[in-house]
Structure 1
């Protein structure tokens, strides 16, 4: 196991964690602390009920008192439970024990991508792509399920001792295209990996994960982050106003395809990025295919460990306004201070102190200008407007409370069906969440009535085409069509539906149709009849006739019906076809000569030849055992199956 893995799994003896050694919920024995994040601490634990090792993620008690944080924490369990993917850390259980709120998750022995980057610095392109591809596969499954991770970073990429790569910490997952629901004017995330639209608007769709993956790829290829600063505000500002530089600027010799990949994923305008992780994964595989072995296995010049503050890159609530912050007191470590990559030659780049001073002055000037303009705008009309709070999936009562707290009113409450939002919860608002609205304005709520149900219409007597059209009008789909006899519904029209008329079904459900074959007709016996007589008898019953191409030998004369299908007495529908097979007469077989043979021997020989046998003993042959005569002489021919009479004396 690597040093990073050992650090990940051992107990930190310098910290006396009160949870270590305890049993949560009477089931999970906490054995060691693995890692601590901005929202929770992760422990290695034993499930005493199932006797398996797992990871226990316990929310910080201070946050557990906040209902919104608890909701976000529990959402992780529900979101990940929907993602049955080999590259997503599995969630087993969720619960509370006193002030502790926890998730029981799959334990992945190994290390994080952050540990790897701390130890090795930049990675070879092959290794970077080997890690990125399963990460994108996991995120792609989430995106196709309508979920966004929103906090993608090296700390959330687990690398198992067996080499498997898994994505963890879906605690910030939200439905696609929703707006953050925490403190107004703030964004929850990790500074170094936030997309510009998260910083400006708090919005999150799959492209914010694509942006974060572009930053992570840059970091794997170069050993450092693309945007660094002495304060979180500087990093946020650079995300908004500076493109992610090409990795080859920091590591000369990297292939153009890698620069292009990073540029596409980390484009500042979301519309210029791949739409989701599935699309980015396709581009990654295309880029890998274009690279040669020497380009994939190139060793970066600065493939050395990069210093990294243990407190940096934690998930936190950050202001959306990019403004300069006071320098931290001496000795206090900045949230996002990292060792910079080796600088270009001094001839090309000004000294760091002067460069820092100029950038700081520029930043202050820009911020002062923004604040000046913003103050004027606010003075004119800002105080008259507010934003619609996030209300989606809230109950109507909760939505009313949030609107009242924001100084807004409920204008009207509409109702609509929804297959994904529970009954009684908000589906949408008008204006939508995050929209600017005049203070004291009203918001229209659309509340879910649950899944749409449709009553199956009564289609008896409908022609099939019209019945299918009526089903579609009602929001249902035509299903399988079967046929059955009916005495009261004409042939070719619908008898009933399955399920029956009046049954409630979800919109879009398939409804089977049963179509009438009319009253049943009993097929008459026509074997042995001449063909024309057979045709007439079947036509009188409303049946059609088909004559088989091949004739067969039978007991009937040539030209008579030898067989019929369906058989006599069967039930058929009017217009059904009866197939007739004509006879070409009996098959003529040579009769064996059995005169003088014993009775048993003679009967066997005749039967083997295909004949029926009858005995004629008379008075004189009651006790005889020898054949004295036969009805058809030996050597003559007789119809196969006909009867030969033997006289016994």
Structure 2
């Protein structure tokens, strides 16, 4: 058992179990005895208590959430920053991540994607109004509750946009598949970076795939900078045009062409929900020149292999030289040849040229690193201008990680960004971590002690491993480590007898779903049917709670199955009447060749006319006439319950035509 489980913090929070472990904190489920509620507690890991950078990030998260109060953002109840322990008490979320939900669902309908996106945008709108940019929006940081409510979590790398103007350098923050191009470049990031990430998530939900995927993180980062995503309708033709436009506008490379705020994107989405056939007709400036990016993409010294790092550090905003040289317009042939040689020369000399033209490196005295812990030195912002090269040496009299020597020596005056070689103590002889799986906790501890290794025992729920036996270790078995190193030993608490996951039964038959529910130790709850799902009769299309959600053993799972029947659908059409017209207009609507509606409208009173059409199946052409002339043509899809606008014609005044026309007219060629 770890050092916190079963303990009480500040005489108030009774810690029950470890439920997660992130990069800088351990997350526990706990009980607040004063307010009588279950809470989640993030405790900063011991190894980071002396690390100023991690403490800054941890405090950033608490400060960020503390000023936020919104139903779609995880609540913070309490914070504590003591010398021996630092923790944040947050709302306990009983649900799954949006990432887990997307992995489980073979298809997310666009209406459901819009439902999720609206909640995320409302949360970000609130945060942005408070001056906070999340900077790490991704499905892994979005929690989905059983009732469909969204909670945005993990503000660990958030910043206050109005109080902090520093930017990232060559180490981009955030998950590379979702970060904005300016974030990957290391430019200043503001609210529009979060908008880009929301656009990527919306793209993923409506198409079922990410816009950019590659074998390495750096390849994805370069694609974020340079490549255009495949239009969503090419992947999923059922996506309405307006939704595709919203998605691509949110994902524009140039922040100026993106939605400028969450509120602006919400307005378009609300307008799209009211009229799914709407077209926004967004136009963007296209630069004919090839785009080149060099910021935030480095190469390994001596090779041409790119490297990528999700860590980050801050620097002052670099000064950029906006001057450009003009090319001569003399002979095209000579210029082309010269340009070819110039491109080659620039390709080889650009890095050196930029380095030599920048402000010259400063002379600085080299500090004394000997005797200090290497991780402390590496993470100290005061030493960010040195490039550390490490080598190891075994010295059993010193702690592992201690710096035994340095070259150049302390006090030597060197240029900033100089290489400094540090000799790091490996901590004595190297040993191999044994395979401790399926051993009892006592056996595992004994084996580690015999190898002079220290350990932490951490509980983990795992129904497949007997309670009290080792599930795995970190580092894993077979890893070479120095004597004295710490090994995390994860010991199974069994199934716990408390919760089980709702099985993934979507698209199964009702009979198969019942068997899976029973096998999971759950019971079948209310069964309802739904018409016109496109699924065979008795196919499971929904569950409550959602698949993957942890629920108490014996709980009931409600199921919605397809009836196999087609229901009558209503499709609303919003006809935008011509502007600057003040007289009455005769409007006729034909479904196929059959007149459905005829009415008199006047744009000066109401410039939008709503029409409703019903049907059970198939596609039908809808023709709208104004004063006897064709005005708009739509295709209504009663199978999908959607429509699209095919043609639009300018309004022509022709009052007599409405009296002589008995059916749809075809415009003259």
Q: TM-score scaled to structure 1, two decimals? A: 0.45
Flag the structure with larger Rg: 1
Q: TM-score scaled to structure 2, two decimals? A: 0.43
Which structure has the highest helix share of the two? 1
